[in-house]
Structure 1
Amino acid sequence: MSESTSYEERLRAHLQQNTMQDTLVRAGAFLTIYELVTTSIVEIVASFHEHGWSESGPTYTPEYQQRFLRRGQNRVKESISWLIDEDVLEDSDQKTMAEVREYRNSLAHELAKALIDPDAPAKPYLIVRLYELMRKIERFQASLHLDANAEFDNREVDPDDVHTGVRIVSDLVMQLIMPAPGAHLFALDDRTRRQSIVVTSEEQPPVYATPDALETAVAELPEIPHAPAGVASVLQLSRRLLVMSSVEYEFAALGAEKALQAVETTLRHVLNANPRQPYSKLIDRYVTTHPDGPLDAEMLNSGRRLRNVAAHPKNAAAMPIVLMMQSVRTSHEIVDELLRNHTER
């Protein structure tokens, strides 16, 4: 097949009505969450520096005006830097936002190109990164609210259980790009549906990764009702991302990464570990303090290495979906085992 013919076929498929609708919905979802998150970041930092009130609105401290309101200053970038200094965000979040901002600008200014060019860059993983950034900001806001509200004195409330308006709207927007069971309105990704989600053999025929097959596989994953809210929410996100891979293959690797992240979060919960303790040290500590535990260092380190690989977008398209499916399933089982063992002790 010649290069021109290949392009013509891709162009024809790209200009199908359902594909164009898909592109518009995803672009709108990304742009909406971007505006919600950036506005939230700016407002929460500004609230810490309010100095008074005037007819035109709140006034701010001289330090805030100098750092954040100088002409040409990037207020979002400086606000993220401030949140990093306060240990709310991490250095990697600044890098994520820089990539998000660049993609947002190209999408907002060249939406027509995304609609008609089959080779226009698509970065579906960025909306997940942006959503995760929103969750960090939300947890910070929730913690502030809980600490300042006398109604919550002497009551244990997990910040993950508090949903801000930004979170509620973002969840509604995310649902627009996630295929609902039995309603597959988006163009399917051939890279996904041509692969099997099970290891094939003479006895086991392939089970191709269609939306229905993915939904069935996700429904069969272990239920973990005793998981802490933070762990449960990450596991839920991993399952949703697996199903979303039917319309964007790279979401499978993100789903695996989130499930493996849940294992790390569970280890920190079981060990009551410092959030900044490196994952490798966390594994060493667990193996030392739980010599008779259900997991060994080799298994946990294998998951850690896979998580690091899956975290890089360039690797996502090269990872077989059967590996991602097995990784998500194993992560669920490990989390379940860790929590059961911790409860019994």
Structure 2
Amino acid sequence: MGYQEDPVGYERRLHAKLRPDIIRGTLAFAGLYQVTHEMLKHAVLDKVREFFCLDLNLDGSCSMTAEEQERYRRHVLLLAPNRFRASLLWLVQNNAITQIQADRLDSIRDHRDDLVHELVKYIVDPDADPDVGLLVDAIATLTDLHRFWIHVELSTGGFFLPDGSDVGDVDAEEVMPLSLIVLQQCLDAYLEGVEGTSQQPHD
């Protein structure tokens, strides 16, 4: 309900929205959402392209041969006009994620753009709240993508230690990529802050 319909109630909700602990929570959510979205982009765009590249550079970048570029174009880029969408369709075809998850990423991206470009709205507008459900779906999809890429890694040679030795048999379900460990740390920190806020006495 807006200011015109209920000025007293609107003012009360605005004061609550502008509490320092609530603002900190909104900023923390926006940062966590942005980190998750960037990880999704990497798992979709970079990892699909790397799949068609046999040799990675020492810095982790991928320099494709003409033949690899053509395979990448035929198997991925021709699936859709947009490279991100084409990569998603390739992932769906290979059972990494579902079509529902792929479509949901459109909403996840749109909310990310809104959080980045309209962050002040989420701080000062009592009727604008970040979408926690989209973050939950983003993390679930990211987890599925990492699981898929771990299976790919295991099927194409497995994991090796820095000295080049093979780590042996590995269960894909037990492998936790460093990026997901970092994301979990960020999520735990955010939730700890939210729980601390909820336990504080309100005016």
Give the count of matched residue pairs.
182
Distance 1:30 1:38 in 2: 12
**Given that residues 26 and 130 in structure 2 are in contact (C-alpha distance below 8 angstroms), is that contact kept between their aligned partners in structure 1?**
no
Q: Secondary structure at the match of 1:58?
A: coil
1:68 to 66, 74, 77: 77
Distance 1:8 1:119 in 2: 12
CA drift at 1:122 = 2.5
Q: Which moved more, 1:56-65 or 1:93-102?
A: 56-65
Q: Does 1:111 align with 2:119?
A: yes
2:182 to 169, 173, 176: 169
Equivalence for 1:11: 14
Distance 1:74 1:168 in 2: 30
**Given that residues 33 and 173 in structure 1 are in contact (C-alpha distance below 8 angstroms), is that contact kept between their aligned partners in structure 2?**
no
Give the number of the structure whose alpha-carbon radius of gyration is greater. Answer: 1
Q: Does 1:40 align with 2:43?
A: yes
- Relative contact order (alpha carbons < 8 A, sep ≥ 6): 1 or 2 greater? 2
> Partner amino acid for 1:172?
Q
- Which blocks of at least 5 consecutive residues in structure 1 are unaligned? 189-209, 212-345
Q: Secondary structure at the match of 1:122?
A: coil
1:142 to 146, 150, 162: 150
Distance 2:85 2:175 in 1: 26
Q: CA 1:69–1:12 in structure 2 vs 1: closer, same or farther (change >3 Å)?
A: farther
CA drift at 1:23 = 0.4
CA drift at 1:169 = 1.7
Equivalence for 1:100: 108
**Given that residues 14 and 116 in structure 1 are in contact (C-alpha distance below 8 angstroms), is that contact kept between their aligned partners in structure 2?**
yes
CA drift at 1:8 = 0.7
Q: CA 1:136–1:102 in structure 2 vs 1: closer, same or farther (change >3 Å)?
A: same
How does 1:1-345 map onto structure 2 within 5 Å? 3-50=6-53, 58-59=63-64, 60-65=68-73, 67-68=76-77, 73-147=81-155, 148-149=157-158, 151=166, 155=169, 157-179=170-192, 184-186=195-197, 188=198
Distance 2:83 2:178 in 1: 22
Distance 2:142 2:36 in 1: 9
> Partner amino acid for 1:185?
G
Give the TM-score, by structure 1 length. 0.48
Q: CA 1:24–1:168 in structure 2 vs 1: closer, same or farther (change >3 Å)?
A: same
Q: CA 1:28–1:163 in structure 2 vs 1: closer, same or farther (change >3 Å)?
A: same
Give the TM-score, by structure 2 length. 0.78
Distance 1:113 1:47 in 2: 38
> Partner amino acid for 2:130?
A
Q: Secondary structure at the match of 2:16?
A: helix
Distance 1:165 1:12 in 2: 40
> Partner amino acid for 1:10?
R
**Given that residues 29 and 176 in structure 1 are in contact (C-alpha distance below 8 angstroms), is that contact kept between their aligned partners in structure 2?**
no
Q: CA 1:20–1:53 in structure 2 vs 1: closer, same or farther (change >3 Å)?
A: closer
Please list every run of at least 4 consecutive aligned residues from structure 1 whose deviation after the TM superposition is greater than 4 angstroms: 51-54
CA RMSD, Structure 1 to Structure 2 (Å): 2.9
Distance 2:184 2:16 in 1: 30
- Which blocks of at least 5 consecutive residues in structure 2 are unaligned? 160-165
Equivalence for 2:162: none
Q: CA 1:53–1:88 in structure 2 vs 1: closer, same or farther (change >3 Å)?
A: closer
